[in-house]
Structure 1
Amino acid sequence: MVIRWYKRLFLKIFVTVWLTSFLVIALTAFVVGHLSETERDRDVQSARALGQAELLIDRYERNGRFPSKKEWRRDHDDKHHTDKRLSRDRIQIKDLQTGVVIFGRDDKKKMRSPMVMELISDNGRQYRVLVETHIPPPLKDKLFGFFLSVQVGLLMVVAGIAALLISLMVVRPVNRLRQYTRDLYNGDLSARTDDGLSRRGDEIGELSREFNQMAEYVEQTLQSNTHLLQDVSHELRAPLARLQMAAGLAGQKMSGADQQYIDRINQECDRINRLIDEILRLSRLEQMEVSDQPFELASVIGTLVEDYRFSAPHHPIQWNPVNYRIKGNPALLERALSNILGNAVKHTPAGTEISIAAELTADKVLIRVTDTGQGLNAEQLAKMFKPFVRFTGQQNGYGLGLSIAQRAVQLLGGSLSASSQPGEGLVLLLSFPKV
């Protein structure tokens, strides 16, 4: 099964960690910055208002009056003046001893976000100063501007680096475990995790150690089953031979209608003998030497094609020789292709053409065996490589031929797959690493 790119664990971890860390850091920085900016702005306004009020009170106590509106506008509304926020309508000075508002708005008019301060003049009089603070821009505007700033870009980069490191810390060992699992599935029973994984003290290390235990158990179980098959098959040969001998002796003393029972016994004995041969062939396959020397495909396939053209002339076989090479024991490829061709001959009508073609890709050598029989449906394709599986209507064979072929291909470091459309034949694809 091919994992879609957007479903990969690396992408899920990266996006989750990146978004979470970025949003948490960015929002925290925004809130802290907003609060500190508000406090700083309020302090600045307080200092400005207090300084302005001191000047006004000093002028009032010296001159006996405050500046008129015209004088105020001349002094504070000039286009070159740096502070235009303290208009006459936004400041109020009240004499606390008399309770009279001596400057600015009266108490009946409300100010927005007023700031209250008290001060004592040089003459010892107490005053209360109310200043309307300016309204900050809407929060959404500040938030929008913040996320367009350079600081946010730096936060995104830092959060991305952190997410990348965390993702690699999790995904890389998982991918290594997956490769060891694939090796075990492909027939490498000696596959074990490396020391770097098994010595880890976290959950991944525990998982790798449990994988090694599972692989050890699988290897021992399969080897025990192989030895059991060999032992049972050999033990069956002796009584089967005696049964065939007894049937032969009995057949010499019988004649006429009774001979059909002897023939039936001999037929079933032959079937059991062929089944034992298949089982022994399957068990011995694991013991075949796996070489790493390259060999020519043309020599192995050409010999098989000639053999089948002679033994099965009613099935035309098409093969165009090529000069491709793969590594391994050529006997394994011969065993795999022999079983595949034998399966095609058994289960397709006479006159059905069988073709063998080889092609070279960037990193693979592909061998495609195609027949023009009835084909298989999806359910049959899923079961066809399992041992002792035969489909309805198939009386020849024991369901071991394609299992043997698949195991031989795996021992060569390749893979065997099948595709078919009912009524359009069967295609078996052997894929091997390029030399």
Structure 2
Amino acid sequence: MAIRWYKRLFLKIFVTVWLTSFLVIALTAFVIGHLSDQQRDRDVFSARVLGQAELLIDRYERDGHLPSPKEWRRGHDDDHDHKAPRIFPSRVQITELNTGQVIFGREGSRKFRNPVMFTVISDTNREYQVVAETRTRPDLTAKLFGFFLSVQVVLLMVVAAIAALLISLMVVRPVNRLRQYTRDLYNGDLSARTDDGLSRRGDEIGELSREFNRMAEYVEQTLQSNTHLLQDVSHELRAPLARLQMAAGLAGQKIPEAGQQYIERINQECDRINRLIDEILSLSRLEQMEVSDQSFELTRVIDTLVEDFRFSAPHHPVHWTPVDYRIKGNPALLERALSNILGNAVKHTPADTDITISAELVAGKVLIRVADTGPGLSAEQLDKMFKPFVRFTGQQNGYGLGLSIAQRAVQLLGGTLTARSDLGKGLELLLSFPTA
């Protein structure tokens, strides 16, 4: 089953790393910049307050009195720079330290918020304490919006994307290579092993690749041992079976006619054992067949099979429309797969049951359909039908190896074999192959 694009590991890692790194860096830069701007505005504000305080003190020492804060602020509004930061002294209090007299501002008023406090020594060596309340009116929304539209944010996005891409590739590329080796092993390439670049890594991916190599080695040895065992046992059974058939023939010549039915029964069972040995040997030989990279015509293989079955099973009409498709591999594997599938349809469907073979291109793959109009199979039977030596109730012909051999032949061609059916509506087998 193909992975949907939004579920891919690469996309998940890339988006997560990119968003996380971008937001962390951007917010850090914004906070640091905001704090820096606040400190700068506070320094500018302190300088303005100090300048005004010195003017007020000089006027106080010269005239002996000062205007009210509102009158002083009204007289200096024209000097305010509207392009400067929106920070202004809402309350200023100047106190003469020698006498404790408040010469400007209200005495005993509420506490100052975020005050700026410093001492001024006049030309007459009098000390004054100046306290000013700072009030900021920052538009954080506009400032944040402007920050995220700035050039530095674009640069942050690009840098974060490059970092996320590198991290994603570091994780996903070796995983994809391991997946390809696993797929090769599943498709019958028992010699599939990870390359040195993966197996020599010192991290978890390198350990996983080494574990894969150990697993592949075990699978190859096990399957080869089983194949050799099947071949050896089958060949060992052939000799006593042949002697048993010969002895039955000789006994049939000497036993009276009344005992011939027993001799025929012995010969029948010997034939069954012989067919079973043939199927087991076919399954073991299948693993040793050469898997070619050459392409071949699909029609040529299917035409020959259809003609053979029309001759050997005339009571099952076979319908086939030739197509102009090619697939890669050994044509003998496709012939073995389709032969077993057609043979299975002929064995397990009533006479005069139509068998239809068709081929089409679907999503870049060649899809071969083999459908019959027989009784069909249940969902439980569909799950078991490709397992070796599985026969369903009422099926006495064969030994349950035909479809297993067909599935393995399709896999060696790099394809897949699936089935679907509804009881009473026939069985459909789907063979999917990459196009040549």
Do Structure 1 and Structure 2 share a fold, with TM-score over 0.5? Answer: yes
> Cα distance, 1:349 vs. partner?
1.4
- Partner residue in 2 for 1:36: 36
Output the CA distance in 2 between the equivalents of 1:85 and 1:395.
97
- Partner residue in 1 for 2:415: 414
> Cα distance, 1:52 vs. partner?
1.3
Over 3 Å counting, the alpha-carbon distance change for 1:30 and 1:325 in structure 2 is closer
Over 3 Å counting, the alpha-carbon distance change for 1:143 and 1:378 in structure 2 is farther
- Partner residue in 2 for 1:61: 61
> Cα distance, 1:281 vs. partner?
0.9
How many residues get paired? 434
Give the match's secondary structure for 1:57: helix
Over 3 Å counting, the alpha-carbon distance change for 1:119 and 1:410 in structure 2 is same
Give the match's secondary structure for 1:94: strand
Alignment partner of 1:219 is 2:204 = no
Matches within 5 A, 1:220-239: 220-239=221-240
> Cα distance, 1:184 vs. partner?
0.8
> Cα distance, 1:48 vs. partner?
1.5
Output the CA distance in 1 between the equivalents of 2:426 and 2:79.
91
Over 3 Å counting, the alpha-carbon distance change for 1:153 and 1:278 in structure 2 is same
Output the CA distance in 1 between the equivalents of 2:3 and 2:193.
24
Which ranges of structure 2 fall in alignment gaps of 5 or more residues?
A: none
Over 3 Å counting, the alpha-carbon distance change for 1:69 and 1:290 in structure 2 is closer
- Partner residue in 1 for 2:338: 337
> Cα distance, 1:290 vs. partner?
3.1
Give the match's secondary structure for 2:224: helix
Output the CA distance in 2 between the equivalents of 1:81 and 1:409.
83
- Partner residue in 1 for 2:184: 183
Give the match's secondary structure for 2:419: strand
Output the CA distance in 2 between the equivalents of 1:328 and 1:141.
66
Over 3 Å counting, the alpha-carbon distance change for 1:370 and 1:193 in structure 2 is same
- Partner residue in 2 for 1:388: 389
Q: Is the 8 A contact 2:317 2:354 kept in 1?
A: yes
The normalised TM-score by structure 1 is 0.91
Deviation per residue, 1:69-98 (Å, 9 max, x gap)? 6752453122765579556x6111011111
- Partner residue in 1 for 2:124: 123
Letter in 1 for 2:115: P
Matches within 5 A, 1:10-49: 10-49=10-49
Matches within 5 A, 1:205-216: 205-216=206-217
Q: Is the 8 A contact 2:45 2:88 kept in 1?
A: no
Over 3 Å counting, the alpha-carbon distance change for 1:61 and 1:217 in structure 2 is same
Deviation per residue, 1:131-157 (Å, 9 max, x gap)? 010134376675555445543343233
Letter in 1 for 2:58: D
Letter in 2 for 1:41: D
- Partner residue in 2 for 1:102: 103
Output the CA distance in 1 between the equivalents of 2:122 and 2:132.
18
Which ranges of structure 1 fall in alignment gaps of 5 or more residues?
A: none
Deviation per residue, 1:315-348 (Å, 9 max, x gap)? 1000122343333332222211111110110111
Deviation per residue, 1:171-216 (Å, 9 max, x gap)? 1111111011111101111222223222322221222222222222
> Cα distance, 1:65 vs. partner?
2.3
Matches within 5 A, 1:326-405: 326-360=327-361, 363-405=364-406
Over 3 Å counting, the alpha-carbon distance change for 1:114 and 1:425 in structure 2 is same
Give the match's secondary structure for 2:78: coil
Over 3 Å counting, the alpha-carbon distance change for 1:198 and 1:69 in structure 2 is closer
Query: For structure 1, which segment, 166-175 or 109-118, has the greater mean C-alpha deviation from structure 2 after superposition?
Result: 109-118
Give the match's secondary structure for 1:396: coil
Alignment partner of 1:271 is 2:280 = no
The normalised TM-score by structure 2 is 0.91
Query: For structure 1, which segment, 19-28 or 345-354, has the greater mean C-alpha deviation from structure 2 after superposition?
Result: 19-28
> Cα distance, 1:217 vs. partner?
2.0
Letter in 2 for 1:34: H
Deviation per residue, 1:289-308 (Å, 9 max, x gap)? 33333333333222211111
Output the CA distance in 2 between the equivalents of 1:73 and 1:135.
17
Letter in 2 for 1:109: R
Query: For structure 1, which segment, 239-248 or 305-314, has the greater mean C-alpha deviation from structure 2 after superposition?
Result: 239-248
Letter in 2 for 1:245: M
Deviation per residue, 1:235-280 (Å, 9 max, x gap)? 0111122222333344444457654444333322221111000001
> Cα distance, 1:60 vs. partner?
1.4
Matches within 5 A, 1:245-284: 245-255=246-256, 258-284=259-285
Over 3 Å counting, the alpha-carbon distance change for 1:352 and 1:434 in structure 2 is same
> Cα distance, 1:370 vs. partner?
1.2
Instruction: Note the aligned Cα RMSD (angstroms).
Output: 2.5
Output the CA distance in 1 between the equivalents of 2:74 and 2:281.
113
- Partner residue in 1 for 2:195: 194
Alignment partner of 1:204 is 2:205 = yes
Q: Is the 8 A contact 2:341 2:403 kept in 1?
A: yes
Query: For structure 1, which segment, 95-104 or 287-296, has the greater mean C-alpha deviation from structure 2 after superposition?
Result: 287-296
Matches within 5 A, 1:86-97: 86=88, 90-97=91-98
Over 3 Å counting, the alpha-carbon distance change for 1:220 and 1:108 in structure 2 is same
Output the CA distance in 1 between the equivalents of 2:293 and 2:68.
105
Q: Is the 8 A contact 2:298 2:323 kept in 1?
A: yes
Give the match's secondary structure for 2:376: coil
> Cα distance, 1:401 vs. partner?
0.8
Deviation per residue, 1:110-132 (Å, 9 max, x gap)? 33322222222121111111101
Output the CA distance in 1 between the equivalents of 2:384 and 2:27.
56
Give the match's secondary structure for 1:431: strand
Output the CA distance in 2 between the equivalents of 1:412 and 1:78.
89
Matches within 5 A, 1:133-144: 133-137=134-138, 143=144
Over 3 Å counting, the alpha-carbon distance change for 1:113 and 1:289 in structure 2 is closer
